Amino acid sequence: MSKTIAFEIIQKYEPIEEVRKAHQMSLEGFTRYMNSRECLLFKNECRKVYQDMSHPLSDYFISSSHNTYLVSDQLLGPSDLWGYVSALVKGCRCLEIDCWDGAQNEPVVYHGYTLTSKLLFKTVIQAIQKYAFMTSDYPVVLSLENHCSTAQQEVMADNLQATFGESLLSDMLDDFPDTLPSPEALKFKILVKNKKIGTLKETRERKGSDKRGKVEEWEEEVADLEEEEEEEEDKFKESEVFESVLGDNQDKETGVKKLPGVMLFKKKKTRKLKIALALSDLVIYTKAEKFKSFQHSRLYQQFNENNSIGETQARKLSKLRVALNFQTPGLPMDLQNGKFLDNGGSGYILKPQFLRESKSYFNPSNIKEGMPITLTIRLISGIQLPLTHSSSNKGDSLVIIEVFGVPNDQMKQQTRVIKKNAFSPRWNETFTFIIHVPELALIRFVVESQGLIAGNEFLGQYTLPLLCMNKGYRRVPLFSRMGESLEPASLFVYVWYVR
């Protein structure tokens, strides 16, 4: 810490004038500083939108959710508007809406072929409209998993236009006729991701022609995006889960599960879907196309087309997860939340240069270029760590520091266990990490209580991007599994990194 910064901190937080004039700090002053935002590990600069937001959408990592309407399990749990509200408040910018035909010509949202409850489509988008830009000004993508008939798709199109009005992007931007717009150009806009009939140019020409009165009658038969082979594998795994829960009481001819008062059908393979032109015309820069291969996409994919890849296939192609169930706590959501703390929590993070270049030779499994960062973390102490369900206020505490990034950077190190002191444990242990691709690295602090029989018990965690870490003496706040602040529980560390 420089002398200038130290002087400013003393002047700001030291309450005793004599001590302040002597350029020193009392215990009270130090405590005030420790509890301030300035002492936090996370950089203040990263709390605001500081990145260049004028690149095309494809140049950004976008915070995305899967089955956003669910708030518990994916088979029997309720669908709830809170799923969308919660995701938006957390900065999520891509929401999934599973749409099915409902009664009285009203489309509904739920996890198809399961016992999850149903929401009206119009109620879902009304909730989205209310909270869409509460956390971030940048565009929200509605990813429609569309299983509706053309008649109810037309209802969906009417609902979208009536609910979002001018916020709904329903035509190309004049400055972006053949390239993807930027997040900046799409501020406060809602984009619809769905299958589309024809090209953007054909859509604009048709809208401007004399055929307006016939538009609602047009439709086209296309392959249903959700029914890719990879997704089918995941879906039938869910059916297997039902079988293990409900037993083998099945009608051999119909394939229907039979329980008292319950009938559960196995998943169907719907291979074709008709798209209503009214809904198709609302798809502009986010046209859904089936993924075939990276080579095929490089050769043929248009600027406004994007792919949804089933997780089974995605795991074969990449180590990264791109759309998560926000209602499911755990490591994946910790990493998601930590990653998108950056850039003001806007839900858009500019990719490193080596991921934005069309002819990039970057290989995460074989890093040959660049200067690695040497990260040093001295884990000094903790304060008021959360109590476990099984212990008194004298828990046996330990801390695990993990690095997530490219394969060569993955590492974790652990402190010794401090016995019977969860209130103010002191470790004073130093750990060193060599990080080859700091632009993609996340650092995660996990606090556990040692358990000899049932294993260690999770107490709290904090995850953030390496390049958003302040140097020097810093406080690390802790969060629960559900992402709730555990203040005043925290760790005290000294951080230094050099290239």
CATH of the domain at 147: 3.20.20.190
Task: Tell me the percentage of the chain whose pLDDT exceeds 90.
Answer: 61
- Mean predicted confidence (pLDDT) in 293-322: 80
Residue 71 predicted with pLDDT over 60: yes
| Number of folded domains that form the chain | 3
- pLDDT range class, residue 101, cuts 50, 70, 90: very high
For residue 227, what pLDDT is reported? 43
- Mean predicted confidence (pLDDT) in 88-103: 96
For residue 299, what pLDDT is reported? 87
d(CA 308, CA 144): 11
For residue 492, what pLDDT is reported? 96
Residue located via tokens 């899967």: 66
Write down which residue in 351, 377, 411 finishes a domain. 351
d(CA 300, CA 381): 56
For residue 1, what pLDDT is reported? 61
pLDDT tens, position by position, 433-462: 999 999 999 999 999 998 877 788 999 999
Residues 332 and 395 grouped into a single domain: no
- Mean predicted confidence (pLDDT) in 336-363: 93
Write down which residue in 351, 378, 411 finishes a domain. 351
Q: Does a structural domain hold residue 362?
A: no
- Residues taking part in catalysis: 66, 111
> pTM value?
0.85
191, 139 in Cβ contact below 8 A? Answer: yes
For residue 213, what pLDDT is reported? 42
Residue 242 predicted with pLDDT over 60: no
* Domain span including residue 229: 57-351
Question: What are the φ and ψ backbone dihedral angles of 392, each rounded to 5 degrees?
Answer: -85, -160
For residue 296, what pLDDT is reported? 87
Residues 211 and 253 grouped into a single domain: yes
Neighbouring residues of 290: CB distance < 8 A, sequence distance ≥ 6? 223, 225, 228, 307
Residues 376 and 452 grouped into a single domain: yes
d(CA 286, CA 93): 13
Q: Does a structural domain hold residue 47?
A: no
Residue 244 predicted with pLDDT over 70: no
- pLDDT range class, residue 239, cuts 50, 70, 90: very low
Q: Does a structural domain hold residue 76?
A: yes
For residue 257, what pLDDT is reported? 40
User: Taking all residues of the chain, what is their mean pLDDT, rounded to a whole number?
Assistant: 85
Structure tokens that stand for 279 in this block? 């809904």
- Mean predicted confidence (pLDDT) in 14-24: 93
Residues 98 and 246 grouped into a single domain: yes
d(CA 355, CA 217): 43
Q: Does a structural domain hold residue 246?
A: yes
Whether the bond between 488 and the residue before it is cis, its omega within 30 degrees of 0, is yes
pLDDT tens, position by position, 307-317: 888 777 777 77
Q: Does a structural domain hold residue 43?
A: no
Q: Does a structural domain hold residue 347?
A: yes
Cα-Cα-Cα-Cα dihedral sign, residues 457, 461, 465, 467? negative
Residues 94 and 178 grouped into a single domain: yes
For residue 297, what pLDDT is reported? 86
372, 408 in Cβ contact below 8 A? Answer: no
Query: Where is average pLDDT lowest: 199-203, 378-382, 424-428?
Result: 199-203
Residues 15 and 64 grouped into a single domain: no
pLDDT tens, position by position, 263-293: 444 444 544 678 999 999 999 999 998 888 8
Q: Does a structural domain hold residue 106?
A: yes
The answer for 472, left when phi > 0, alpha when psi is -120 to 50, beta otherwise, is left
Residues 191 and 291 grouped into a single domain: yes
Q: What is the largest CA-CA distance in the chain?
A: 89
Residues 346 and 374 grouped into a single domain: no
Task: Tell me the percentage of the chain whose pLDDT exceeds 70.
Answer: 83
Cβ atoms within 10 Å of 61's Cβ, excluding its own: 19
- Mean predicted confidence (pLDDT) in 35-58: 95
Residues 392 and 331 grouped into a single domain: no
Residues 86 and 120 grouped into a single domain: yes
pLDDT tens, position by position, 193-236: 999 998 888 888 887 764 544 444 455 555 544 444 344 334 43
Structure tokens that stand for 469 in this block? 């870490």
- Mean predicted confidence (pLDDT) in 317-334: 79
**CATH number of the domain within which 433 lies:** 2.60.40.150
Residues 378 and 290 grouped into a single domain: no
Q: Does a structural domain hold residue 48?
A: no
Question: What are the φ and ψ backbone dihedral angles of 291, each rounded to 5 degrees?
Answer: -80, 130
For residue 319, what pLDDT is reported? 60
Neighbouring residues of 215: CB distance < 8 A, sequence distance ≥ 6? 206, 207, 277, 278, 281
Residues 260 and 163 grouped into a single domain: yes
The CA angle 258-262-263, to the nearest 5 degrees, is 60
User: CA separation (Å) from 152 to 108, 283, 341?
Assistant: 10, 16, 38
d(CA 443, CA 11): 32
